[in-house]
Amino acid sequence: MRLVIFEPAAGASASPPQLGLLTPGGVVAVDVVSAATAGGALKQVVAGFDALRPRLEQLAARSAAIPLDEVRLLPPLADPAKILCTLWLPMQHTDTEDRLHVFVKAPGSTIGDGGEVVLPRLDDAELFTHNACLAVVIGKRCRAVAASGWREVVFGYSAMIDVTARTASLARWKGGLSALGSSCDTFGPLGPAIVPRGEIEERDGLELQLRCGGELRQQARFDDLDAQIGVAIERATSVMTLHPGDVLAIDGTAAGQGPLQDGDELQLDVGQVGRLSVSVRDPSNRTWDRSIRVASGTASA
Task: Evaluate whether 234 touches 142 at the Cβ level (below 8 Å).
Answer: no
Give the dihedral of Cα atoms 226, 232, 237, 243; nearest 10 deg.
-70
Least confident of 75-79, 235-239, 246-250: 75-79
**pLDDT for residue 93:** 46
- β-strand 274-281 against 116-118: which pairing, if any? parallel
Task: Evaluate whether 266 touches 188 at the Cβ level (below 8 Å).
Answer: no
**pLDDT for residue 81:** 92
Q: What is the CA radius of gyration of the chain?
A: 19
Task: Evaluate whether 214 touches 142 at the Cβ level (below 8 Å).
Answer: no
pLDDT digits 0-9 by tens, 142-157: 999 999 999 999 999 9
The CA distance from 50 to 31, in Å, is 16
- The percent of residues above 70 in pLDDT, for the chain, comes to 91
Task: Evaluate whether 280 touches 119 at the Cβ level (below 8 Å).
Answer: yes
Q: 139: closest CA among 44, 57, 56, 227?
A: 44
The CA distance from 48 to 295, in Å, is 42
Task: Say which residue, 254 or 122, is predicted with more confidence.
Answer: 122
**pLDDT for residue 176:** 53
Assign 185 to helix, strand or coil: coil
Task: Evaluate whether 219 touches 256 at the Cβ level (below 8 Å).
Answer: yes
Average pLDDT over residues 96-124: 88
Strand ranges for 24-163 from DSSP E: 26-29, 71-74, 83-88, 100-105, 110-111, 116-118, 127-129, 132-138, 154-161
**pLDDT for residue 25:** 94
pLDDT digits 0-9 by tens, 266-280: 999 999 999 999 999
Which structural domains are found in the chain, ordered by start?
A: 3-74 (no CATH), 83-281 (3.90.850.10)
Residue 147 has φ and ψ, to the nearest 5°, of: -55, -35
pLDDT band at 10 (very low <50, low <70, confident <90, very high): confident
**pLDDT for residue 50:** 95
Query: Is the overall model pTM greater than 0.95, yes or no?
Result: no
Task: Evaluate whether 27 touches 6 at the Cβ level (below 8 Å).
Answer: yes
pLDDT band at 298 (very low <50, low <70, confident <90, very high): very low
Strand ranges for the chain from DSSP E: 3-8, 18-23, 26-29, 71-74, 83-88, 100-105, 110-111, 116-118, 127-129, 132-138, 154-161, 164-166, 188-196, 208-212, 215-220, 247-251, 265-270, 274-281
| Mean pLDDT, rounded, of the chain | 89
pLDDT digits 0-9 by tens, 50-61: 999 999 999 999
**pLDDT for residue 23:** 95
